[in-house]
Structure 1
Amino acid sequence: MGAVSVETEPGRRDTSRRPARATGWRRGAPWAVVGLWLVLLALAGPYAGLLSGATVNDTADHLPDSADSTRVLELRKDLPGGETTDVVLVYQRDGGLTEADREAARQHVAGITADWEPAGEVPSRGIPSADGGTEMYPLSLGGLTGEEDHDAVAAIRATVAEDLPDGLTVLVGGQGAIGVDMSEVFSDIDGFLMLATIAVVTLLLVLIYRSPTLWLLPLLCVGAAASVAMAVVYGLVQVTGLTVTTMSSSIMTILVFGAGTDYALLLVARYREELRVRELPHDAMLAALRGSGPAILASSGTVAAGLLCLLAADLNSISGFGLVAAVGVLCALVAMLTLMPALLVLLGRRVFWPLTPVPDAGQGPSRAGIFARMGSSVSRRPVTILVTGVLMLAAMSAGVLNLPGQLSDEDSFTTTPESVTAMQQLAEAYPEQSSRPIIVMAPAQDAVAAVERARATEGVAGAEAGRSSGGWTEVSVRATAAPGTDGERDTVDALRAAFGTQDAPSALVGGTAAEQLDMARAASADQKLVIPLVLGAVLLILIALLRSITGSVMLLTAVVASWAAALGLGGLLFEPVFGFRGIDPSLPLMTFVFGVALGVDYGIFLMHRMREEVMGGLETRPAALVALRSTGGVIASAGIVLAATFSVLMTMPLVFMFQIGFVVAVGVLLDTFLVRTYVVTSASWLLGRRVWWPGALYRRRSPAPDAR
């Protein structure tokens, strides 16, 4: 039986209803693929569940290896009592503390130090505020391992709540308490994110497909991909010592569900289209894979390549995240190009019920609908639409200038745990000094001189020598500036200058303030290194797919503009509307990688279909409108799903995760409904065949009708 040629668009011919040639696929390949996945899941399942126990959230796991503060953390572990859990007891009474209040505080401190090993001098009296209404008792507890710091903070909070005089309030703050409160957030994050993501994706798939069964297939496939990805990442942790934070594993889950569902939507849409012109599901699936496969491969390739560029980052948490997320994307790709097609073929047309596609040569992409009308408006006023779109993106991007400063530990929560309330009270009661120490590790023989030099440094309120071991002595320094302020960071720089150059210092400066400063500077350096790598990697993949420099540069420029616009909207809303007083230093880099790598997907889907139409016989301008009309619905659905999955992060009680979810979700929606629909389409219309320069489609003025 010969091929039947069907006219589908003016100037384009489609060789549909081709004879079945993939007998192996029809007879056994789908069952073999499903069987292989069942075996893979049986092997991966036990290890996937172990990943949550292999994640780390310690400060040292985020810092760059080269930072002074990282070295300080390592040296403190060898001191008597090891790395400390630092807490501050904050006693407060309106009108001033009484002697009974102070006696209760002394009893509390005595009980705490009897139950838990102090790592330094135990204060015999509190440090009073200027107005006498507040006293603080800084305590350092040592010898705590594993979850003992959580037990210690919980026990301290229970102790200070006992036998309080009426009117006296006590809060437990300090970095140890903040770390415990943050760990409690992370302890519940994986399960909640997984359930919330599944619920969001399920709801959207049901609405998109309007089928009682079809929605289940993408969900099963992304679930399988997520399980395998978690097992692979766990294996990498065990074999290579890869740093995986709870945030990394959580965002990987979001990425697998979001990107995997996008690939499923594109494949299913093309498969449904092919079922309208082919008798056998096997042939329709092979045609769908030929048509959508290159775009899906390029899409996943850009995401994976962009994420792998993060391996060059100096921050351990960022470099580790790059590999973790890339594994998730590649697992999603494999599942959607193997398991998903196999299940669709085995279930046949009935999986689309009640909107079952049937072979009808007269069916083709609808000329009606919202995206057809959008295309018509582009063809009538391309310059106006392009200029308007660019101006809108530029206006939103200006909000970047309004981004708040660096996020402090106290401002990292969207809610207000006890530790944050305690630190806020300390900042109000002691505006003239910091409530957390800057740690200087000095050679033991120079400890006395180090204390004197620290006290003589500008911005220092006091310094005392602490524990000694292994030839090093810990010097605790208190700044005059409040925690998290520029003044405190200036004091860190002043101390480092006082103790010599960074290449050969006579002492090392660490502590929370120094750690935050080192992370901010490493993040800034990482941006300058990683962003060009991401742009180069994505551009090369686009050129390989489109065979065009002009079109590739156009897509990349548009998606960078949408990322800048999304980040700019964050600058306009984070502090004025949401009340966030800072951003994490790594937010621009993280959202750039997501925004560019994920956002360019929709441009890839559109431009690849446009190229396919041109190769099939259309000129570039009508091909742009056909591509918009053909892919508009599925890309809009994919964008909504991806934005919704990342929006789940906005439900987390951590500011950083909320901000990532906001910027990525907004960027995806801008890419879906503004950049891809109007900016890219109007630019392609205006460029005409020049959009393919210098490829073969640019040189061939009138593509042959049968070139497809």
Structure 2
Amino acid sequence: MSHLQPPNEPNDPNSGDGAARRGRSGSPEPDTPGQPGTSAPPEHRASARRGAAWARVVIPALVIVAWLVGAAIGGPYFGKVSEVSSNDSTAYLPTSAEATQVQNRLPEFLGDDAIPAVVVITGEQKLTKEQLHTLADLATGLGDLPEVSGAVSPPIPSEDGRAVEIFVPLDADADVDAAVEALRSELASTLPADLTSYVTGPAGFLGDLVEAFGGIDTLLLLVAIAAVFVILVIVYRSPLLPLIVLSTSLFALCVALLTVWWLAKAGVVLLSGQTQGILFILVIGAATDYSLLYVSRYREALRDHHGRWEATREAWRGSVGAITASGSTVIAGLLCLLLSELASNRDLGPIAAIGIVFAMLAALTFLPALLMACGRTAFWPRRPHVLAAGAAGEQSDAHLPTKGVWARLPAFVQRRHRPVWITVVVLLLGACVGLGQLKAEGVPQSDLVLGASEARAGQEALAEHFPGGSGSPVYVITSADDLQEVAGVLLTDDDIGAVSVAAAESPSGSAPVTTDGVQPAGPPGSPAPDPTVSHGDVLLQATLTVAADSAAAGDVVRDLRAELGDRAQIGGVSATDVDSNDASIRDRTLIIPIVLVVILGILMLLLRSVVAPLMLIGTVVLSFGATLGIAALVFNHVFHMPGADPAVPLFGFVFLVALGIDYNIFLMTRVREESVRHGTHAGIGRGLAITGGVITSAGLVLAATFAALSVIPILFLVQIAFIVAFGVLLDTLLVRSILVPALGHQFGRHLWWPSKKITD
């Protein structure tokens, strides 16, 4: 494994190498207060030794117990996440969004705050009178379900007579997934065998979405843990060490989830299924990566020291700087998401940052305590042995690999650095060409869930027999004085099939509106009901002829807003999609440059250079562009995906840039340290050789954990899984291993400008 530590000056007595040199020289650091050679009384020295020995046992034990308690408390919260999470897209819009304002006012006109479910029932032939009578009784029975809030509409036949639709309002405070499942079970048990039913509409799609996220607590964790365990067994070839590293990651996740759960419970953050999945993967991947770095340092320290305490102290000193700097960079990038307008994006920042904090803490406290307790046994059957006297000194190459790819690659890159970096840059630029094919303007709600979806099948049946927007109308709030004028504008739109106004006196709760005014909704000759008026406003409901979640529906909303201006507010499913996509596009346009500037500043402070950070940022951006280009080709021509959410490039950028810089920090801090001692060119080769194995292993672990997201059948998560997994592998195996060292050789000592104390 490799030898990683932050850049310390060669003569720094507090550096990891300073401690190592003292251990290697055969003069261990004193465990008692005072300096060597002091004449403390023997009884004082004995007491100090007993106190130090006591502390070496008690402190690690207390750390282990503290993490065990935290994990024991946090573990049960895996089964309680649904209590504080929400997948309602409207809840994530900013309060200033027009769709949000309309959604908040709907109860004023429609009564109880309910989630509409659309039941579509179809037959192979035209429905008979007996069947219609049976369906009317069925609709009445659905109103008796405890999950139903409000009146269930009578069956509404289609023009072709082969289908009916029933509008069922579900209690917004109920478990939507359970409510939809109860509705589907009731239909399956009471519906005649020659008829087929579907539950669709906003409630149906939300139920399918929640069901798809149901595998996060079990399937996602099992797949991620299994993938990480296999990689760790291959890397360490030890049965015990992978379990120690995995327990570190899982304990970090338990405590992070406990913290996030209570913050969500208090309303400080908003937790969704996709945020939960990303949190799980990010904590497992990051904690494992940081653990790999510490284990590498601890293995080397055990070769320099006989005692566990001295080895632990040296390993901790040598790894704390790199782990803290890398984790802080990721946290800074994630917190930039606080600038997002969408709550789903904004809340991911602090939630994921909390996960990274506990990943770092676990790797720097719980893992060292466990390894100190196990000592060399943790590495069985390949226990590290102390180097023979004289085998290691200040200029020793004892920790450099002598065989394998990391022994040969540094010399090759140094000899051929110019053609190497030119070739890699050309390849990456070629991959960036695919960026033009990335369709990230939003996808229909019906395409969010991959695989079978009853709501999607119901939407298709609905579009076959009814206007495509049935059950998901466009809501228009306007002044009562402008009712007829606004209704006239709606009726002139070719994509709107019908317009009604909310009316409490109407049997159905609404009455049709035509160019002649509000029409009776009851028997012939009955008077037209008065519209429901709230604060001088009325609610119009426009049924679209196209699917409510289609691009055409979004165009209708945009055209209506442009034509009606301040005279009306427009909401509903279609308007929510429009506002969400607009907010996501605004977020990525604003946040991506800010993330670059923040990380660039951190790198300049860390490396004490201007050129090296600019080079690293440039390579990571190039890697990100190539990743998105390849992803666009794969999404369009291999998986034939319908497009992507506008937030996909933003999330991919934040994760890839933050994590890509993470690995470059591990590399460049060691390169700078070696360059101070040996010069830039030798330092680059030594840094690459020493860090190559552990960073590549860390990259494989992170790619495997993010790839595990693809087991959740949600389009957004599958796309993020591919982008991050592929991007991490590209950055780890090509950019960090070849391009960055080659460019470093090209710049030479100018890489560290304005510093002048590092030579070529």
- TM-score if structure 1 supplies the norm length? 0.89
Contact 1:454 1:460 in 2 (8 A): yes
Candidates 604, 614, 638, aligned match of 2:665? 604
* Aligned counterpart, 1:145: 173
Q: Alignment partner for residue 540 of structure 2, among 467, 475, 481?
A: 475
- Residue 364 of structure 2 corresponds to which residue in structure 1? 337
In structure 2, what is the Cα distance between the partners aligned to 1:313 and 1:520? 12
SS of residue matched to 1:302: helix
1:205 is displaced (CA, Å) by 1.6
- What's the CA shift for 1:188? 3.5
C-alpha contact (below 8 Å) 1:171/1:422 kept by paired residues = yes
**Match for residue 158 of structure 1?**
186
Alpha carbons of 1:479 and 1:203: their partners in 2 closer, same or farther (altered >3 Å)? same
Deviations 1:330-374 (A, max 9, x none): 111011112212222232222212111112125331232112222
Is residue 526 of structure 1 aligned with residue 587 of structure 2? yes
Q: Specify which of 204, 221, 224 is matched with residue 194 of structure 1.
A: 221
Amino acid of the structure 1 residue aligned with 2:559: A
Contact 1:117 1:142 in 2 (8 A): yes
Report the equivalent of 2:255. 228
**Which structure has the larger Rg over C-alpha atoms?**
2
User: What is the DSSP-based 3-state SS (H/G/I as helix, E as strand, rest coil) of the residue aligned with 1:584?
Assistant: coil
CA distance in 1, matches of 2:84, 2:75: 11
**What residue in structure 2 maps to residue 562 of structure 1?**
623
2:551: which partner in 1? 486
CA contact (8 A) 2:184 2:198 kept: no
Amino acid at match of 1:510: G
The letter for the 1-side match of 2:670 is R
The change in CA–CA distance for 1:31 and 1:393 in structure 2 (over 3 A counts) is farther
Once the two structures are superposed, residues 583-619 of structure 1 have per-residue CA deviations (whole angstroms, 9 ceiling, x without a partner) of 122111111110111111111111111111112x212
Quick one: which amino acid aligns to residue 248 of structure 1?
T
Residue type at the aligned position of 1:611: R
Q: Distance in 2 between matches of 1:219 and 1:622?
A: 36
Matches within 5 A, 1:389-468: 389-404=424-439, 405-428=441-464, 436-444=472-480, 446-457=482-493, 459-466=495-502, 468=532
State the identity as a percent.
34
Which piece of structure 1 moves more, 623-632 or 340-349?
340-349
Cα RMSD of the aligned pairs, angstroms, is 2.8
How far apart are residue 136 of structure 1 and its match? Answer: 4.5
The more displaced of 628-637 and 106-115 is 106-115
CA distance in 1, matches of 2:637, 2:250: 38
C-alpha separation in 1, matches of 2:148 and 2:254: 42
Helix, strand or coil for the counterpart of 1:440? strand
Where does residue 705 of structure 1 map in the other structure? none
Give the whole-Å Cα distance in 2 for the aligned partners of 1:98 and 1:664.
55
Matches of 1:90 and 1:68 in 2, distance apart? 30
105-114 vs 483-492, which moves further? 105-114
State the alpha-carbon separation in 2 of the partners of residues 22 and 267 from structure 1.
23
Q: Unpaired runs of 5+ in structure 1?
A: 5-12, 703-708
| Offset, 1:696 | 4.1
Deviation at 1:263, TM superposition (A): 0.5
* Residue 625 (structure 1) shift: 1.3
Partners of 1:610 and 1:145 lie apart in 2 by 57
Q: Which moved more, 1:266-275 or 1:680-689?
A: 266-275
Looking at structure 2, the residues matched to 384 and 136 of structure 1 have their Cα atoms a distance apart, in angstroms, of 69
1:318 matched to 2:349: no
What CA distance in whole angstroms lies between the structure 1 residues aligned with 2:177 and 2:105?
19
In structure 2, the CA distance between the partners of 1:654 and 1:117, relative to structure 1 (3 Å rule), is closer
The CA deviation string for residues 27-50 of structure 1, in whole angstroms up to 9 with x for no partner, is 515632441452355357435644
Check whether the contact 1:81–1:144 (CA below 8 A) recurs between aligned residues. no
- When residues 397 and 79 of structure 1 are mapped into structure 2, their CA distance, relative to the original with a 3 A threshold, is same
1:366-405 CA-partner distances (Å, limit 9, x unpaired): 2321122222321222122112211222222222222234
Instruction: Evaluate the alpha carbon distance shift between residue 578 and residue 31 of structure 1 in structure 2; reply closer, same or farther with a 3 A threshold.
Output: farther
Report the equivalent of 2:238: 211
Q: Deviations over 1:476-527 (max 9, x none)?
A: 1122333333321111012222332xxxx33221111111111110011111
Q: Hey, what does 1:659 align to over in structure 2?
A: 719
Number of corresponding residues: 681
Deviation at 1:26, TM superposition (A): 6.0
CA contact (8 A) 2:474 2:574 kept: yes
Asked if 2 retains the 8 angstrom alpha-carbon contact of 1:263 and 1:296, the reply is yes
Amino acid in structure 1 at the alignment position of 2:153: V
- CA drift of 1:81 comes to 3.9
Show the counterpart of 2:324: 297
1:672 deviates by: 0.7
How far apart are 1:105 and its partner, in Å?
A: 4.2
- For residue 576 of structure 1, report the CA deviation from its aligned partner: 2.1
2:495 and 2:244 map into 1 onto residues whose CA distance is 62
- Quote how far apart the aligned CAs of 1:99 are: 5.4
Provide closer, same or farther for how the CA distance between residues 604 and 82 of structure 1 changes in structure 2, counting only shifts above 3 A. Answer: same
If the length of structure 2 is used for normalisation, what is the TM-score?
0.84
Give 1:339-378 correspondences, 5 Å limit.
339-360=366-387, 361=391, 363-378=398-413
Equivalent of 2:732 in 672, 675, 678? 672
Write the deviation string for residues 169-198 of structure 1: whole angstroms up to 9, x where unpaired: 332221211111111222342232223222
Provide closer, same or farther for how the CA distance between residues 658 and 171 of structure 1 changes in structure 2, counting only shifts above 3 A: same
- Check the 8 A contact 1:378/1:681 in 2, yes or no: yes
